[in-house]
Chain A
Amino acid sequence: MAAAELQSGGDVSVSLRGVNKTFASGITALDRLDLDLRPGEFVSLLGPSGCGKSTALRLVAGLMEPTRGTVSWPGGQRPSGRHGQIGFVFQEPTLMPWASVAGNVALPLSLRRFDRAATDARVAASLKQVGLDGFAASYPRELSGGMKMRASIARALVTEPALLLMDEPFAALDEVTRFRLNDDLLALWREVRRTVVFVTHSVFESVYLSERIVVMTSRPGRVFTEIKIDAPYPRDRQFRTSADYAALCRQVSEALADATVGGGA
């Protein structure tokens, strides 16, 4: 399942080779994981709960080190969150409740003692991108679940990262909100063209969003197969109700089912 060969010519920005992650508790989250991420692509990691998707994301972010194997950056140095090259969106909004929305979004910049005026401008731009302009002074508890998640995305985007890592960001939201955020995320991605790695356990969400879906097995997590989603962007409600979409969802569902049986979950 060598992913690198799947698309020749495309340069690789992150490359995971033979990665194993075993926790102190003895649980092996990932084993012999090979995965390549290409610049500007939207790729989803799809798998059942506990298949190590989030662990893979944290390895890429540098929040964890692999037990065995390598995470390499063929394009050059590992980008660091410190310099704002990686944005991370968690499953929960993970906002500081004591700070206003603007304060939360400004965090990555203010930790680097960024110039105040430049920070304000970037925060405003970032809030506008996610449709939260006008809520800068609000506190997180005054926002709905979807708006909190938007604030969280704005915070991840404020440093203009090359790599945006999203760990089941919309899993806790209702369907209407999730659809709207999916649409907005796609529009945003087409506008800024960052590499997005999107972890999800929803087949429908992954097909709707991604150029490429990496289906993973569980316990230990490993790449089961990759599926390219060739449907053109922009994708909208029409795509969501099309026969193509349904067929792709079926194909991915079957792959996921096979992966789940194979993984023994």
Chain B
Amino acid sequence: MNGDPVAPVMPARNRAEHALRLLLPVVVLALSVLVWELIVRVREIPPYVLPGPGLVFRTLIADWALLSDSLVVTLITTLQGFVLAVVGGVGLAVLFNQSRLIEYSFYPYAVILQVTPIVAIAPLLLVWLPQEAAVLACAWIVAFFPVLANTTLGLNSVDHNLADLFRLYGASRLQVLRRLKLPAALPYILGGLKIAGGLSLIGAVVAEMAASSAGAGSGLAYRIAESGYRLNIPRMFAALVLLSVAGIVIYFALALFSHLMLRRWHESAVSREG
């Protein structure tokens, strides 16, 4: 019978495929690291051009105190930018949804903010704002637009008949927003969050890069720039690895959050047979 809850037991073929999906990327990673190490050794490439993965790993351990401090700084900026982006993006979308006039007046400027390259705005923000605020502003500007755009789309995707039903039963504006529009928009909002998570990290890094030229800051991006000036390439690689890992963790954390929020009802989060 279609529409029945999916059987909890995963067929063997499915499980094998699941395992492959986890295993294959790991195999590719291991092989790449091996080839990387071999090339560096065979060609005797100096570490200030390309350090081998072993050296990068040793540097990561040796410089952990320094790098972990920087990681925390960058992550805090990212998190703050992300939270502001979510609050700002969802808030603006709701505001636009409640008033056509406000939407027409301000939406174009949200787009302009989005399409202007953040690298170009960062120096200006650093002139205007204290450094921490400027870095945060960068993270926010980059990350808030996908939340705004997705939430707007979601709020406008309400089933017309459901909207009629709410009208028939005399629902207030607030009730329509809280009980119809926001739940209907939730899958879209969560999609926006997944994009915004990665983007707020990018925004934070770009701003730190721009700020580091002014000689301040201690985030991971600053470490990368600094290592570059000092030709400490192994540390540069170690910082890069940390940034990638942070990005991956952010992405998967948000994907998991999205899945948990939607698993009871949304098609995107419901597993299917076959």
A111 & B171 in contact (Cβ 8 Å cutoff): yes
Interface size on B, residues (CB 8 A): 27
Q: Which residues in window 90-140 of A have CB below 8 A to B?
A: 90, 92, 94, 96-99, 107-108, 111-112, 139-140
Q: Which segment, of B11-19, B157-165, B241-249, faces chain A? A: B157-165
Task: Report the Cα distance A134→B180, complex, angstroms.
Answer: 25
Q: Which residues in window 234-274 of B have CB below 8 A to A?
A: 264-267, 270
A92 & B169 in contact (Cβ 8 Å cutoff): no
Q: Which of A58, A96, A141 contacts B267 (CB 8 A)?
A: A141
Residues of A within 8 A of B5 (CB): 142
Contact with A along B165-201 (1 / 0, CB 8 A): 1111111000100011001101000000000000000
Residues of B within 8 A of A107 (CB): 165, 169, 179
Chain A's closest residue to B172 (CB) is A111
B44 within 8 A of A: no
Residues of B within 8 A of A143 (CB): 3
How many A-B pairs fall under 8 Å by CB?
Answer: 67
A97 & B168 in contact (Cβ 8 Å cutoff): no
A22 within 8 A of B: no
Residues of A within 8 A of B265 (CB): 97-98, 139-141
Q: Which residue among B165, B170, B266, B267 has the maximum number of chain A CB atoms within 10 Å of its CB? A: B165
A255 within 8 A of B: no
Task: Report the Cα distance A108→B167, complex, angstroms.
Answer: 10
A94 & B161 in contact (Cβ 8 Å cutoff): yes
Q: Which of A99, A108, A141 contacts B3 (CB 8 A)?
A: A141
Interface size on A, residues (CB 8 A): 30
Q: Which of B168, B175, B186 contacts A81 (CB 8 A)?
A: B168
A82 within 8 A of B: yes
Residues of B within 8 A of A108 (CB): 169
Smallest beta-carbon distance A232→chain B, Å: 34
Q: Which of B3, B162, B164, B170 contacts A80 (CB 8 A)?
A: B170
Q: Which residues in window 160-174 of A have CB below 8 A to B?
A: none
A111 & B3 in contact (Cβ 8 Å cutoff): no
A111 & B183 in contact (Cβ 8 Å cutoff): no
Task: Report the Cα distance A144→B4, complex, angstroms.
Answer: 7
Contact with B along A185-196 (1 / 0, CB 8 A): 000000000000
B169 & A84 in contact (Cβ 8 Å cutoff): yes
Residues of B within 8 A of A62 (CB): 168
Given A96-B183, A98-B186, A111-B171: A144 and B3 within 8 A (CB)?
yes
Interface residues of A (CB under 8 A from B): 58, 61-63, 80-84, 86, 88, 90, 92, 94, 96-99, 107-108, 111-112, 139-145, 147
